[in-house]
Structure 1
Amino acid sequence: MYKLSAAIVFIFLFFQNGASDQLCSVRKTENYCVCKRVTSQDESSVVTEADCSRIHLQSVPSQDQLTADLNLLDLSHNEIQELDENKNKLSSRTLQTLILSYNEISSISDKFFSEIPDLRKLILSHNKITTLDNRALFENCQKLTYLDLSFNHINTIQIDVFLPLVQLQFIDLSYNDNALGEWLTQNSDFLTHKLGLSLNISTIKLDNLNLTDLGNLYFVNYTNLKHLSLADNHFQEVPRVPYSVEYLDLSGSDISVLEVKQLSYHSLKTLRLDRMKKLENIHPYAFYNLEALEELSIRNCNNLKEFNELVFGAMFKNMVSKLKRLSLSGNALQHLNITYKYLFRTLDLVDLTDNPWTCDCDLLWLQEVDNLYKSDKIKCTSPTTLNSKKLIDVTERNVPLCYPQKFGKKSHRILISFLSLLVILLASLVAYLIYYAPKWYNNGSRRLGPESPYNVARNDLD
């Protein structure tokens, strides 16, 4: 049975060597770390971890304060201000994961990581780093595969600083100074030939760096890239990315129109287009060429009022699609074509919440879809008689026009109303004739004209 290293603890160790500054303990307190042995994720070995987060450390502890065979050291959420090997040297032949996020680190000396040769994962996010100006910073970190530098204040990076990281698979430079974005896009091969970023990298995150245009050749050499996040930048059209990409996040961009020519990536499995305030139009067949697409998220796009029935191409009753998750929540959608019924029935999840739906005859087919996410949160906005009413609670009495078998078609009801009015008019006419005609007849027929044989004057002449 698979066991997560963070959850399965089978031996607690209490490290005591008599030193007054010993930090390891079997129970976490304000001044002590929790040191423990756990099974590795692949259950192939036992590793030692030290959780030293949130204990108000102001410097990195030494190896003597911890344990000799440490594999993971978590120093997050402390008050560490600098990484200097002359003041707080960290030396370990076994340490593979070092977490330093949520501190106040502003500087790193060039030799600080030099005596951690087996380091694989380094997290420095949410600090105050402004520059990576030491070319030798990662010189002895050839085994590093994961590097997180997000949420700092980095504006420049030393040329070739990443060159020693030949095995790097993941890098996150998101949410740094906007100047970093301008600096990174000086030319199309900046990542490769300036920073020395490995061409074998599989994940790059460049969110919120004020990027506007990367050019068609920016990622051209990264043919192994699988996961690319470019969220919260200012792209006005979908940037050119490698055909190897399987995950693409363009949320928060300034894109207003999506066209099929911008999205022709046959390997793409996940596409996120959330929070795009300017998105107004998705052309027919826009997602038609995304043959491997499994998840599509278009959420909180306030100006998106239509989701065309042909964005995936023509849909039919027995269609087969790889798409499994579709989220369209928080947009301005009012209508959805019934042809989506064929697609929705094949999906694992459909999220249509928080849209101003018009609950008319053309939308009631959604009541037949049983895999809607939080279906009780899908509410009507119009007509006004159904405002805020849950779609699943709309009945035939709320929309009688949609149930001709019970209430008749609208055209039939109009005809019946017209005929009823005509009958009333005819009945009124008949009643009028019956009531007033005898009086008119009696008065008129008793008037004797001069030619009448009953005229008294005529008879006297005879």
Structure 2
Amino acid sequence: MMFIFKKFIVIVILLAFACINGSCESENITFHKSFNSSSDDKGQYEEVLNLEKRVRSLEQPVWQISDDRNRWVQCLEGPCKCRPEMKSLSCWQLELPDLPFGQIVPHDVQMIDLAMNQLTTLNKEAFKALPRLIEIDLFDNQIDYLPAGTFNQLYNLQYLRMHKNNMKRLPNQIFSALQKLKNIDLSNNNIEVLSEKLFKSCLNLVVLHLSGNNLESVPENIFNNLLKLEDLDLNENKLQNISVSTFKNLRNLKRLKLGQNYLSELPTGVFKGLQQLIYLNLRKNSITYVNSMLFLHLSNLRVLDLSGNDIQQIDLNAFVTLVNIKELHLEQNYISEIPEGLFRKNENLDKLFLFSNNLETLMRRSFLGLKKVSLLLLNNNLLKDFHSETFRFVPNLQKLHLDGNKLQYLPSRSLDGLIHLISIRLAKNPWHCDCTILYLAEWVSDNKQKLWDSQPLCRSPNKFGGIALMEMDFNVLCDGHWASRFHLSARLPIRPVVFPPPKTNLTTFKEIMTL
């Protein structure tokens, strides 16, 4: 450790000398390369690196704060744009490596925009004596370090945007003075660890974005004081597990995003207490099974996204408490079966996404309860057939995608009840054009305006390959077997019909057929 300390002293001296000669950047590069190659202890290297960042922070210039009566006129003389009527200062996209030293900043400024520059750090005094500041935008810089006192005395700050920077860690007390803060955006940094007390003082926080970082876990009690939080974004991290009590106090939470992580399972009760939740994103994780207790307390949920997981099985009671759900994403999983009655309590569901799964068939009551569904996507599955009354339970369906399956025909009358249907996709199926497909051929011919994207084409037999289904008629498909006109069930062999001798009082063909 003594060696590390001595080396750091030498580094500080070198840095100071280098900065006098205007070559801080090149010296820093040399330091990183030489020390990293000679140190065997990564922890010690990180410690010295942090000290180097502190030195760099101390070197940063500080605003010139003015309370002069002409302060807003003086502000206009600097490189940044000043708007007295908005009480704002914009240094947006000026390629600034540091705060502009010559810029006069009025003490009553309420908004400072430093977005899209080249800042790497700030002096801890950068925002001192700006008590009326409400909004700070540091978006899209190269900030990798902020000293603990950076936001001290900003008691009125409400909006802080720091997304798209290079932060790995945040000092424990960096937000301790920000009791009025409503919105923090820390997304798209490189944050690896969060202190359990990081947001302890942010009692009025409504929006917290932490997506696009490198978090493998979050402290169990980190959100305990955020009773007003409504929007929490943890998408695109490396989360592998979440404690059952992580969200327990977030009684006003409305949107929770946990997508694109490494979650394989979630503890029962993890969403308990989230009665106000309306949006839950769990897409692109590694979930394999949805149990009956996971969503037990989410009666107000409107949108649930489980797409892009490894789900193979869903418990029959998994969605029974989601009585207000309107949009359900189950696409891009490995679901091979929809249990009859799975959606029986989801009467308010409007959009159901089931494309890109392993579904081979649909049972009669697979969609029981879905009276209000208007959009149903079943494309890119392995569907070979389904019950003729499957779609009877979705009477208000407007858009249906069946393309990209293995369907050779559709059951007779299977689409007859869809009186509200506006568009349907049927392409990219191996349609077998014989008498069994007569129902679909006639339906397509009568509803050609509802075909979306492209027309279904015959795949077999070879003599009909590539011919549009709507060009087929009874004579071509059935070789004159008139019995198919009377809606014989698909795939049943056509048997000759033998009529008894007509009675004298039966004179019409229709009367004969009612025998």
TM-score by structure 2 length?
0.59
* Closer/same/farther in 2, CA of residues 212 and 345 from structure 1, 3 Å limit: same
SS of the equivalent of 1:405 reads: helix
1:254 correspondence with 2:286: yes
Which residue number corresponds to residue 313 of structure 1?
344
- Return the alpha-carbon distance in structure 1 between the equivalents of residues 421 and 119 of structure 2: 47
Give ranges in structure 2 of 5+ residues lacking alignment: 1-71, 382-403, 438-452, 458-467, 498-515
What amino acid is aligned across from residue 347 of structure 1 in structure 2?
V
CA contact (8 A) 1:351 1:372 kept: no
Q: Write out aligned runs for 1:203-218 (5 A).
A: 203-218=231-246
Q: Does 1:97 align with 2:125?
A: no
Contact preservation (8 Å) 1:252, 1:273: yes
Contact kept in structure 1, 2:248 and 2:272, CA below 8 Å: yes
Letter in 2 for 1:116: L
Gapped regions of structure 1 (runs ≥ 5): 1-14, 26-34, 38-46, 315-319, 418-462
Whole-angstrom CA distance in 2 between matches of 1:224 and 1:213: 23
1:151 aligns with 2:179: no
Equivalent residue for 2:308, pick from 268, 275, 282 = 275
Please show how residues 12-27 of structure 1 align to structure 2 within 5 Å.
17=74, 20-24=77-81
User: Which residue in 2 is equivalent to 1:448?
Assistant: none
Q: Counterparts in 2 of 1:319-330, with a 5 A limit?
A: 321-330=347-356
Letter in 2 for 1:226: K
Q: Is 2:227 aligned against 1:161?
A: no
Aligned length: 365
Q: Secondary structure at the match of 1:242?
A: coil
Q: 1:366 to 1:306 in 2, by over 3 A?
A: farther
The secondary structure found in structure 1 opposite 2:429 is strand
- Which whole-Å CA distance do the structure 1 matches of 2:473 and 2:98 have between them? 68
Distance 1:116 1:63 in 2: 22
Q: Secondary structure at the match of 1:80?
A: coil
Helix, strand or coil at the partner of 1:57:
coil
Q: How does 1:171-190 map to 2 (within 5 A)?
A: 171-177=208-214, 180-182=215-217, 184-185=218-219, 189-190=220-221
Match of 1:191 in 2: 222
Distance in structure 1 (CA, Å) of the matches to 2:373 and 2:114 = 42
Q: Residues 272, 410 of structure 1: CA spacing in aligned structure 2 closer, same or farther, 3 A cutoff?
A: closer
Q: Could you say what secondary structure the match of 1:191 adopts?
A: coil
1:407–1:241 distance in 2 versus 1, CA, 3 Å: closer
Q: Give the CA deviation at 1:261.
A: 2.9
Please give the per-residue CA displacement for 1:164-215, whole angstroms capped at 9, x wherever unaligned.
Answer: 21111222223322xx434x25xxx4325xxx64244333233344333334
CA distance in 1 between partners of 2:347 and 2:303 (Å): 14
Match of 1:221 in 2: 249
Alpha-carbon distance in 2 for matches of 1:297, 1:372: 21
Q: CA deviation at 1:106?
A: 0.5
Aligned-partner Cα distance in 2 for 1:348–1:19 = 56
Q: Secondary structure at the match of 2:495?
A: helix
Q: Which residue of 2 aligns with 1:55?
A: 94
- Equivalent in 377, 381, 386 of residue 429 of structure 2: 381
**Which residue matches 2:58?**
none
Provide the secondary structure at the position in 2 that maps to 1:118: coil
SS at match of 1:404: helix
For 1:52 and 1:370, locate their aligned partners in 2 and report how far apart those are by CA, in whole Å.
Answer: 58
Q: Which residue of 2 aligns with 1:140?
A: 177
Q: Deviations over 1:71-93 (max 9, x none)?
A: 4444332211112234x446544
Measure the CA separation in 2 of the matches of 1:36 and 1:368. 65
TM-score when normalising by structure 1: 0.65
- Give the CA RMSD over aligned residues: 4.0
Aligned residue identity for 1:268: L
Question: Do the aligned residues in 1 keep the contact of 2:288 with 2:311 (CA within 8 Å)?
Answer: yes
